[in-house]
Structure 1
Amino acid sequence: MSRSPRDYDEADVRVRPNRRGSRPRTKDRPAHADAITARVVSVDRGRWRTVVGAGTDEERTVTAMRARELGRSPVVPGDLVGLVGDTSGREGTLARIVRIHERSSFLRRSADDDDSTERPLVANVDLMVMVTAVAEPEPRGGMIDRCLVAAYVAGVDALLVLTKADLRSPEEFLRSYTPLGLDHVVTHRRPDGEVEGLEELRERLSGRISVLIGHSGVGKSTLINALVPGTDRAIGEVNDVTGRGRHTSSSALAMQLPGADGWVIDTPGVRSFGLGHVDPDELLDAFEDLAGLAESCPRGCSHLEDAPDCALDELVETGAAGSAGPARLASYRRLAVTLRQNDPWDV
């Protein structure tokens, strides 16, 4: 038997309680129009140290945490971010990072060459400074080659800095990089403790955002301490048994260059530099003079030395490649082999 409308009352209506609160859910995120811009200078255990108003009277250091809406997006030294909350920089205060500004560059590596998982290093740099000693420890070209691949793919300029030139001439080591047109600076420590070549290096870094990468014990921290007095980065020693440097710096740190419009980021000494995140075609595109010529190659050509019918050999040999001479082709192939070689620890 049906019930008439008058037989119903409020007790007949069951309302499911809103356990998430009375506000309706929305996918819209807050605009954070009041966010101020800061540069990330270091990361430590879930806290980011940033600098607001760098180079002005309002400059201050602000510690921040990542806002939930950023998810797992990496925030690394060099990043420009938007901060809200308490941005006073007073001791014990904590701001929130709510936005990562568009990056001009993003340098990264992987744990292994067959591991495509990216490990972000730094952001917004325009110069990679590869530091290696010509002796104690012995220079290893594999590290330089891998850094060059990463720099070329990221569209970042590269500078090679050779330290401890008072122990051995750097000419032989430099010879293999001449075809790449790689800019370099040679330094050594004088008997009075001063670093020869420091002024030349300072000129190269002026007005730029640079990152220093190299093995432990090659002299990175010595250069940083000389470039930015008062930094007091720990200086490592070389192990007498392995011939390799001991790790000193444990985290990346961005610092302003005194008296110059520039930043320098010091990174911990690396022992592996995987390139699993890099596509081989990206490396060829970085060699613009060879990339156009490679269009004459058969489909699927690896462009390596043993590649059958690779057009690059004939074009370079006959001079049709213009500036891309045999030495430059050999350099590209060396880096391409490095990229394909599953041995990121051989650096």
Structure 2
Amino acid sequence: MPSGIIIRGIAGFYYVAVKDDGVYECRARGIFRKKGLTPLTGDRVIFSVTDPAGKKGNIEEIEERSSVLVRPAVANVDQVIAVIAARSPDPDMMLLDKILVTAEDKGIRAVVCINKIDLDEGDRRTRLKEPYTKAGYDVIETSIHDTEGFSRLKEALEGHISVFAGQSGVGKSTLLNRIMDTVVMKTGSVSEKIDRGRHTTRHAELMELPGGGYLVDTPGFSSYELMG
């Protein structure tokens, strides 16, 4: 039976990407419900094909998960990109530390991304990144005008299932748009009144990266929670 990875789940339908064979629309067998197990975006699954022409099938087996995020519900994430902005909004360092500690506790690689460096004043980003580089984290600086930083970010994402995490308005969806070289998500502007971005990402979906690997945005969540 073929195998693949769930890239999206909507209303009981699971869309499974198969290498060199496109995407299959699958349903989960009732046995998973009896076991209290729900397929998740990011799951690696084995499925039977019920309609070859229409690319439809049934999920028969869910392979062992390396990690499970419960907010949002995504399996097998092995890298977290913790995003802060040099300014607009001002960085929430407590949230950043929480993201890093959670990843460290679960054995998930974490990378710090300082975005919007074009808005930096007084070389603030140097002060922001210093304690994290000293702690051994890979710190990447990005902006909409920077090429080198995006090249480093793309390299860091290759071969991983990565998730962006960070406060509203730091540019997570904008980063994803540029990485994918197309507008894959509608981005929101930062409200001048409250200096926070509007949540515009509505569902968890794995996006296959040009250089290999997958990336999922955290829809409507500043941080994330890991199961167990």
TM-score where L is the length of structure 1: 0.59
Per-residue deviation, residues 250-282 of structure 1 (Å, max 9, x unmatched): 111212211x2322222214146568x66xxxx
- Cα distance in 2 for partners of 1:207, 1:239 equals 35
- Contact kept? 1:52, 1:60, Cα under 8 Å: yes
Instruction: Tell me which of 52, 65, 71 is aligned to 2:27.
Output: 65
- Contact kept? 1:106, 1:154, Cα under 8 Å: no
The structure with the greater share of residues assigned to strand is 2
- Contact kept? 2:199, 2:220, Cα under 8 Å: yes
- Cα distance in 1 for partners of 2:205, 2:220 equals 12
Any idea what SS the aligned residue of 1:82 has? Answer: strand
In the comparison of the two structures, how many residue pairs are matched? Answer: 223
Superposition deviation, residue 70 in structure 1: 0.7
Residues 80 and 189 (structure 1), Cα distance of their counterparts in 2 relative to 1, 3 Å cut: same
Instruction: Tell me which of 66, 73, 79 is aligned to 2:43.
Output: 79
1:261 aligns with 2:227: no
- Contact kept? 2:84, 2:91, Cα under 8 Å: yes
Residues 207 and 271 (structure 1), Cα distance of their counterparts in 2 relative to 1, 3 Å cut: closer
Q: How does 1:1-347 map to 2 (within 5 A)?
A: 35-53=1-19, 56=20, 59-71=21-33, 72-86=36-50, 88=52, 90=54, 94-108=56-70, 119=71, 121-168=73-120, 169-190=124-145, 195-258=147-210, 260-271=211-222, 273=224
Superposition deviation, residue 45 in structure 1: 2.3
- Contact kept? 1:105, 1:126, Cα under 8 Å: yes
- Of the two, which has the highest radius of gyration? 1
Query: Which amino acid in structure 2 is aligned with residue 270 of structure 1?
Result: F
Superposition deviation, residue 87 in structure 1: 5.6
- Cα distance in 2 for partners of 1:68, 1:80 equals 18
Superposition deviation, residue 231 in structure 1: 4.8
- Contact kept? 2:115, 2:143, Cα under 8 Å: yes
Residues 230 and 38 (structure 1), Cα distance of their counterparts in 2 relative to 1, 3 Å cut: same
Residues 224 and 163 (structure 1), Cα distance of their counterparts in 2 relative to 1, 3 Å cut: same
Any idea what SS the aligned residue of 2:195 has? Answer: coil
Query: Which amino acid in structure 2 is aligned with residue 67 of structure 1?
Result: R
Superposition deviation, residue 242 in structure 1: 1.6
Any idea what SS the aligned residue of 1:199 has? Answer: helix
Superposition deviation, residue 130 in structure 1: 1.1
Residues 38 and 89 (structure 1), Cα distance of their counterparts in 2 relative to 1, 3 Å cut: farther
- Contact kept? 2:112, 2:139, Cα under 8 Å: yes
User: Paired residue for 1:304?
Assistant: none
* Matched-pair identity in %: 33
- Cα distance in 1 for partners of 2:98, 2:114 equals 16
- Cα distance in 1 for partners of 2:142, 2:223 equals 25
Superposition deviation, residue 39 in structure 1: 0.4
- Contact kept? 1:107, 1:154, Cα under 8 Å: no
- Cα distance in 1 for partners of 2:207, 2:105 equals 25
Superposition deviation, residue 163 in structure 1: 0.5
TM-score where L is the length of structure 2: 0.86
- Contact kept? 1:61, 1:89, Cα under 8 Å: no
What are structure 2's unaligned runs of at least 5 residues?
none
Any idea what SS the aligned residue of 2:118 has? Answer: coil
